[in-house]
Amino acid sequence: MKTNSIPALRLTLFCAVFFAGVYTMSILGIAQFAPNHGKGEVVTFKGKSYHINVAQKFTEDKYFWSRPSAVDYNAAGSGGSNKGTNNPDYLAEVKTRIDTFLLKNPTVKRSEVPSELVTASGSGLDPNISVEGANVQVDRIAKTRNIDKEKILAVIQKTKQEPLLGLLGTEKINVLALNIALDQLR
């Protein structure tokens, strides 16, 4: 028993020191090179500060809508709904979101509604949508703001983010950055 217990105890102590101390301090050190020293990227617009890496709630017709959130965009309690794709409550919620989206975006067909606009992310705080998710909202925003669609499409192109190194991930758009750019468009 002694031959197994002592190495196991040593390994446990080593892992505790390494993962609680060395690893944690290494990640903290690396974070110092990130924007805002690892505390998230903050933007200020019209006197208010926002974390651009956390989803914001946009429901007005004049703005691009964010991805739905199961935690009502509360960064202190992130998480998903944990409902499966065959859960009747979840399916009813998604159907309601689709119906609402189609009501507010009458030029869009049901088959053209991107899934990220009607389903919440795992964290409930995803700040990005796809370029397709932005493009299907252009008609509604152009009509509400009385702005030419081409100007809105140009804002989308200007704010879209390419995949990391050109190959990791997909094109995406930060909804907060997009809506700030839209508000600055006059």
Which residue type is seen at 177? Answer: A
State the pLDDT at residue 64: 94
Per-residue confidence band for 82, with pLDDT thresholds at 50, 70 and 90: confident
Task: Report angle CA 53, 142, 169 to the nearest 5 degrees.
Answer: 35
What are the domain boundaries of the chain? Answer: 1-33, 40-184
State the pLDDT at residue 47: 82
Q: What is the share, in percent, of the chain residues with pLDDT greater than 70?
A: 99
State the pLDDT at residue 41: 79
* pLDDT at 174 > cutoff 90: yes
What whole-number distance in Å separates Cα of residue 115 and Cα of residue 103? 16
The DSSP output letter for 36 is G
State the pLDDT at residue 36: 74
Q: What is the pLDDT of residues 127-158, one digit of tens each?
A: 999 999 999 999 999 999 999 999 999 999 99
Q: What is the share, in percent, of the chain residues with pLDDT greater than 90?
A: 51
State the pLDDT at residue 186: 67
Q: What is the pLDDT of residues 8-42, one digit of tens each?
A: 999 999 999 999 999 999 988 888 887 777 777 78
State the pLDDT at residue 53: 83
State the pLDDT at residue 84: 80
32 Cβ contact partners less than 8 Å away, ≥ 6 residues apart: 38
* pLDDT at 77 > cutoff 80: no
State the pLDDT at residue 156: 93
State the pairing for strand pair 48-51/42-45.
Answer: antiparallel
**Tokens, residue 56:** 């914001």
